[in-house]
């Protein structure tokens, strides 16, 4: 029997269509059909100035949008050899890790719901709303923020924001304990997750998996450690791994990542000092509004940046960052103009989705839902 799963089914976590060949209750073949959420962002980037591209990056992965924002601006900044103030870098780290927590909260709430456990969804979304309140406080948007800028941030954090972040992370470990109590020893959950959808270490490497899906198969690869950015080499944190490679391991790795992200945020808050949040180079960053009233040169810079944008030197660049789903990177080619000549996004959900067929074939149909949930794809990330 051949079954269509999706693209409208809630368990596909977006508009993903799976054509599943069945032999009784067992899966013989799985073919993902993608493209229902294709946006053409990569080509759109090429028709916008570099600064305007910040609007599109977060919409690619709407659960951990700061990862795409960060990957994009870091690539452009490398082209420009921009100097990013320390305060801007530290705030980027805090938001990057809050975004990881936000994404994993949605993962736990929806993945457990797919298995029939509804309660955890409400607990996770309680904290998710708190994280989104912090996003809204700093930039006005709860999702698709577009807060980072090439050269720093669009504006500084408001007074009291760091204290509210501190209050959240101080209570968060207790909430993680609540989540663990609800599912880690539940016999029904363990039957549905342990030994289900095993991805071996060799297979994970062959397919190019990254993120929690790779680390759950025994490879402790984390871009924050392997190719540090935003001074991550100066932060103390562990990279949770497992050698089991099954759905349970993928759950547990993400659970441990909650604590590590909170640990990084605490360190970042301690080193947050007053200071500028934009590159002082007027060829990159807009001048302060007050300066426009007293400086004709500032008016000229403002006019040129808004109407035309800056012109990076000719070259190509790629800077990877570690998102909640794995390695995100923007390959950008500059021809010296005010818009990129070519933009290619390395989206982890797209690569990770390859593993679905290998992990599902031979298992029961009910296990397919478990495996897909623990792969944690975002379809904007897949289709772009």
Single out the residue of 206, 229, 230 nearest to residue 219, CA to CA. 206
What pLDDT score does 11 carry?
A: 67
- Here the tokens at position 142 are 């709860």
pLDDT-derived band of residue 72, with 50, 70 and 90 as boundaries?
A: very high
Rounded to the nearest integer, the mean pLDDT of the chain is 89
What pLDDT score does 297 carry?
A: 81
pLDDT tens digit sequence for 112-152: 888 888 888 899 999 999 999 999 999 888 888 888 888 88
CA–CA separation, 101 vs 258, rounded Å?
Answer: 6
CA–CA separation, 129 vs 148, rounded Å?
Answer: 21
pLDDT tens digit sequence for 316-339: 999 999 999 999 999 999 998 889
Tell me what percent of the residues of the chain surpass a pLDDT of 70. 99
Mutual angle of helices 86-114 and 119-139, in 10-degree steps: 160
């190719």: which residue's tokens?
A: 227
| Range of weakest confidence among 29-33, 113-117, 224-228, 245-249 | 113-117
pLDDT tens digit sequence for 342-356: 999 999 999 998 888
What pLDDT score does 305 carry?
A: 80
CA–CA separation, 328 vs 68, rounded Å?
Answer: 7
What average pLDDT does this structure show over 72-100?
91
In this predicted structure, the answer to whether residue 181 has a pLDDT above a threshold of 70 is yes
DSSP 85-115: -HHHHHHHHHHHHHHHHHHHHHHHHHHHHHT
17 beta partners: 33
């Amino acid at each position: 029997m051949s079954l269509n799963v999706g693209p409208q089914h809630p368990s596909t976590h977006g508009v993903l269509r799976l054509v599943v060949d069945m032999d009784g209750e067992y899966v013989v073949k799985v073919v993902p059909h993608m493209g229902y959420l294709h946006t053409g962002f990569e080509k759109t980037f090429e028709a916008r100035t570099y600064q305007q591209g910040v609007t599109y990056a977060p919409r690619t992965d709407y659960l951990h949008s700061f990862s795409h924002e960060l990957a994009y601006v870091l690539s452009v900044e490398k082209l420009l050899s921009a100097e990013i103030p320390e305060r801007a870098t530290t705030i980027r780290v805090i938001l990057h890790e809050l975004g990881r927590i936000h994404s994993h909260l949605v993962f736990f709430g929806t993945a457990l719901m797919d298995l029939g456990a509804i309660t955890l969804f409400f607990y996770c979304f309680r904290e998710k709303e708190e994280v989104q309140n912090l996003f809204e406080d700093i930039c006005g948007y709860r999702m698709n923020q577009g807060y980072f800028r090439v050269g720093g941030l669009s504006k500084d954090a408001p007074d009291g924001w760091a204290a509210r972040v501190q209050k959240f992370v101080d209570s968060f470990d207790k909430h993680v304990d609540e989540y663990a109590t609800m599912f880690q020893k539940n016999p029904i959950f363990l039957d549905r997750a342990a030994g289900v959808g095993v991805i071996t270490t060799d297979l994970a490497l062959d397919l190019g998996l990254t993120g929690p899906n790779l680390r759950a198969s025994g490879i402790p690869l984390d871009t924050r450690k392997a190719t540090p950015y935003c001074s991550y080499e100066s932060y103390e944190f562990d990279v949770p791994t497992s050698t089991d490679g099954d759905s349970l391991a993928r759950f547990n790795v993400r659970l441990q990542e909650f604590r590590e992200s909170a640990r990084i945020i605490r360190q970042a808050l301690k080193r947050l000092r007053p200071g500028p949040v934009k590159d002082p180079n007027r060829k990159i960053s807009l001048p302060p509004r007050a300066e426009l009233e007293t400086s004709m040169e500032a008016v000229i810079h403002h006019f040129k940046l808004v109407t035309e944008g800056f012109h990076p030197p000719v070259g190509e660049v790629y800077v990877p960052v570690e998102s909640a789903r794995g390695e995100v990177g923007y390959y950008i080619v500059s021809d010296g103009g005010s818009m990129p000549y070519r933009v290619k996004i390395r989206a982890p959900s797209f690569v990770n989705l390859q593993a679905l067929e290998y992990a599902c074939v031979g298992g029961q149909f009910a296990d397919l839902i478990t495996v897909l949930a623990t792969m944690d794809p975002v379809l904007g990330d897949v289709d772009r």
